[in-house]
């Protein structure tokens, strides 16, 4: 069994959906995980924002534009009258539901329900299309098996058991379709795996069914060696180890959701990144195999806040770092980078929701400085310590760029550097020019 995930652009229009149907229709048993059509989740976020502000006119305008787009796609997707009618009813039902939220109280619960509509619509549309072209596909409702626990972590046992039961109900079926991104939380409410979470869904589903392979189909021919949105002439990487892929995803390579590699890694299931626009391109194979002694790729993670705690008196005392870390822990705020010196310690966080409280608590230990709008630039590869020259090449590339923090040696796979967002593009380009 394979798991194939198609992202927003891959199902972004009726034509693209037809192409996906052609790609998956090879008779082999598979689960197809779909995102919402591109732009949809952004529009749903916009609708929710208007509803929080009780701006019903604003919400209705976005809702009506989106609804119109879907009627056009339905018209273009199906050829038979019966399916055009089914498609229209589907769209009407979902949009009537979305509109019902403009009349009532609006909370996080309603917001998450609205955000789930994109994947619910795309999968139902695609399933009808498969039926129209004569394929007996079965829709597996993600809300019946995908679940996160009280800490917002996926619950693999629940997922495996419930997905397994659903699959067992259709022993003869070869073509399952399911929603990416959406799930239920520990209270049974509709929730999601965060933006871009369909990759995570695919990986969790792949691990739950012990798939032979997980394929992530998107709009580019695999993982590139730098961010193609900022750097020209990047190139696709043929193979990545799970660790390299996890670092790149976590540190900003948008092609993969930050935590989507882990479930595949734990079950040792290869992940292939493929291009819907160029299906013959080899793409990237992510597996346990590590290509030795290379700088593989560069990624950048935005929205970073750096905090420096200076305390001449206490830093060298044992227990000081523990106290600092406990403050971050108590606000459930993960630390990404850390550097130390005799008089201070610097850390970075990407979640600044509790920044003010954290700073208040830290001030008990020393003076505190904060830099916002920072970016972590992450150089990933097999950077074994015995080899000379990696650090030199990286610093040489960045000789014109102010670097706020450097972290090297935490693993063999990563050198992280903190720069201001205004220097991000120059840093990425300079590194590409020097390293590749």
What are the residues binding ligand ASP (CB under 6 A)?
7-8, 35-36, 41, 118, 180-181, 195-198
Minimum CB separation from ligand ADP for residue 364, in Å?
40
Token pair in block for residue 383: 């950077």
Contact call for residues 373 and 420 (beta carbons, < 8 A): yes
Contact partners, residue 420, CB within 8 Å, separation at least 6: 371, 373, 374, 375, 402, 404
Q: How many residues in the chain? A: 436
195 contacts which partner out of ligand ASP, Mg ion, ligand ADP, none, CB within 5 to 8 A by kind? ligand ASP
Minimum CB separation from ligand ADP for residue 281, in Å?
12
348 contacts which partner out of ligand ADP, ligand ASP, Mg ion, none, CB within 5 to 8 A by kind? none
- Residue 335 burial (C-beta neighbours within 10 Å; 0-12, 13-18, 19+): middle
Minimum CB separation from ligand ADP for residue 73, in Å?
17
223 contacts which partner out of Mg ion, ligand ADP, ligand ASP, none, CB within 5 to 8 A by kind? ligand ADP
Minimum CB distance to ligand ADP smaller for 200 or for 320: 200
Minimum CB separation from Mg ion for residue 284, in Å?
15
Q: Are strands 335-340 and 344-349 parallel, antiparallel or unpaired?
A: antiparallel
Q: How wide is the angle at C-alpha 122 spanned by C-alphas 121 and 126, nearest 5°?
A: 115
Minimum CB distance to ligand ASP smaller for 115 or for 159: 115
Minimum CB distance to ligand ASP smaller for 120 or for 207: 120
Question: How many Cα atoms are found within 13 Å in the side-chain-facing hemisphere of 185?
Answer: 15
Our measurement of the distance from residue 244's CA atom to the centroid of its chain's CA atoms, rounded to an integer in Å, reads 16
Minimum CB separation from ligand ADP for residue 298, in Å?
8
Q: Which contiguous run of DSSP H or E holds residue 339?
A: strand 335-340
Contact call for residues 204 and 263 (beta carbons, < 8 A): yes
Q: Nearest residue by C-beta to ligand ADP?
A: 7
Minimum CB distance to ligand ADP smaller for 275 or for 305: 275
Minimum CB distance to ligand ADP smaller for 9 or for 113: 9
Minimum CB separation from ligand ASP for residue 119, in Å?
6
Minimum CB distance to Mg ion smaller for 215 or for 305: 215
Instruction: Give the separation between CA 19 and CA 112, rounded to whole angstroms.
Output: 30
Q: Which residues bind ligand ADP (CB under 6 A)?
A: 7-10, 35, 196, 218-220, 223-224, 227-229, 253-255, 299
**Residue ranges of E strands in 248-331:** 271-275, 284-287, 295-310
Minimum CB distance to ligand ASP smaller for 213 or for 219: 219
- Alpha carbon distance, N-terminus to C-terminus of the chain: 37
Minimum CB distance to ligand ASP smaller for 67 or for 426: 67
Minimum CB separation from Mg ion for residue 196, in Å?
4
180 contacts which partner out of ligand ASP, ligand ADP, Mg ion, none, CB within 5 to 8 A by kind? ligand ASP
Contact partners, residue 67, CB within 8 Å, separation at least 6: 91, 95
229 contacts which partner out of Mg ion, ligand ADP, ligand ASP, none, CB within 5 to 8 A by kind? ligand ADP
């Amino acid at each position: 069994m394979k798991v194939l995930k198609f992202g927003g652009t891959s199902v972004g229009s009726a034509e693209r959906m037809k192409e996906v149907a052609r790609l998956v229709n090879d008779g082999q048993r598979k689960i197809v995980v779909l995102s919402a059509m591109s732009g949809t989740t952004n529009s749903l976020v916009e609708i929710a924002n208007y509803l929080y502000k009780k701006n019903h006119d604003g919400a209705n305008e976005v809702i009506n534009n989106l609804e119109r787009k879907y009627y056009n796609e339905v018209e273009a997707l199906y050829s038979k009258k019966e399916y055009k009618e089914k498609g229209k009813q589907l769209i009407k039902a979902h949009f009537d539901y979305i509109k019902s939220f403009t009349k009532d109280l609006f909370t996080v619960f309603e917001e998450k329900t609205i955000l789930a509509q994109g994947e619910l619509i795309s999968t139902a549309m695609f399933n009808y299309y498969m039926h129209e072209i004569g394929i007996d596909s079965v829709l597996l409702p993600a809300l019946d098996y995908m679940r996160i626990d009280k800490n917002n972590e996926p619950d693999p046992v629940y997922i495996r058991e419930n997905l397994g039961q659903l699959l067992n109900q259709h022993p003869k079926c070869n073509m399952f379709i399911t929603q990416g991104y959406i799930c239920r939380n520990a209270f049974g409410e509709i929730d999601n795996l965060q933006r871009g979470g369909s990759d995570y869904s695919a990986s969790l589903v792949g691990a739950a069914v012990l798939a032979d392979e997980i394929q992530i189909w998107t709009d580019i021919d695999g993982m590139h060696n730098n961010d193609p949105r900022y750097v020209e002439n990047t190139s696709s990487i043929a193979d990545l180890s799970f660790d390299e892929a996890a670092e790149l995803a976590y540190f900003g390579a948008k092609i993969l959701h930050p935590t989507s590699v882990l479930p595949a890694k734990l079950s040792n299931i290869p992940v292939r990144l493929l291009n819907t626009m160029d299906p013959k391109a080899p793409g990237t194979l992510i597996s346990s195999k590590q290509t030795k002694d290379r700088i593989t790729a560069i990624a950048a993670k935005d929205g970073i806040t750096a905090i420096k705690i200076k305390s001449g008196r206490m830093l060298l005392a044992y227990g000081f770092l523990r106290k600092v870390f406990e403050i971050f822990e108590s606000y459930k705020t993960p630390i990404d980078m850390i550097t130390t010196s005799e008089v201070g310690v610097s850390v970075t966080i990407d979640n600044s929701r509790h920044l003010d409280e954290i700073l208040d608590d830290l001030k008990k230990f020393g003076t505190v400085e904060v830099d916002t709008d920072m970016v972590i630039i992450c150089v990933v590869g097999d950077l074994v310590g015995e080899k000379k020259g990696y650090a030199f090449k990286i610093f040489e590339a960045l000789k014109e760029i102010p670097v706020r923090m450097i972290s090297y040696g935490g693993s063999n796979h990563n050198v992280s550097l903190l720069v201001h967002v205004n220097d991000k593009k120059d840093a990425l380009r300079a590194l590409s020019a020097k390293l590749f």
